[in-house]
Amino acid sequence: MEREALKKTIIAYMEIHNTLSLATQKDGAPHAATVFYVNTGFEIYFLSSPSTRHGEHLAHNPRVSATIDEDYSNWLLIKGIQLEGGVTGVGGIMENGRIAQAYVKKFPDVKDFLFSPQKLGELIASKVSGVSFYKLTPERIFFIDNEKGFGKREELILSGND
């Protein structure tokens, strides 16, 4: 597939999926966590608390790998994304209105969680006050499409211009 077609295919796949499996590492201890995400082009945003295990790992080592895929029962139909890149914290909900709005557009059920957590109770409101947005910037993405052949995988290396 040509580079521009591959870029469009990857972004379209990212836009119709909801969860990302994030792999982090600290002091030789690997960890994986599934997070909901929104993307703007190749930039991926997710919410998490810095006190989670993956949040602590990210503070120590921002290099990650991740997958976006479905739970297939037929391996000949598998499609998905494998990627690697860096994660940076970009601040809380109130500092990131554009990202929060994109999150609510994709996940309407989180509107009160993000913008009116007190409606959901004191416990939830206190937890929401501690969450932050993180930005995952992929540097290398593989798009897997077994419908085009078993193990069919195309690589996209991203630069600051993509």
- Whether 131 maps to a domain, the answer reads yes
List beta partners, residue 48: 132
- Whether 127 maps to a domain, the answer reads yes
- Whether 118 maps to a domain, the answer reads yes
Structural domain span for residue 111? 3-157
Cβ 114 vs Cβ 101: under 8 Å: no
Query: Over pLDDT 70: what percentage of the chain?
Result: 98
State the sign of the Cα–Cα–Cα–Cα dihedral 82, 88, 90, 91. Answer: positive
- Whether 56 maps to a domain, the answer reads yes
Q: What is the domain count for the chain?
A: 1
Confidence of residue 159 (pLDDT cuts 50, 70, 90): confident
- Whether 162 maps to a domain, the answer reads no
Q: Which of 15-19, 47-51, 125-129 has the lowest mean pLDDT?
A: 125-129
Is 90 exceeded by the pLDDT of residue 161?
Answer: no
Please state, in angstroms and as integers, the Cα–Cα distance from residue 20 to each residue in 1, 10, 95, following that order: 24, 14, 23
- Whether 111 maps to a domain, the answer reads yes
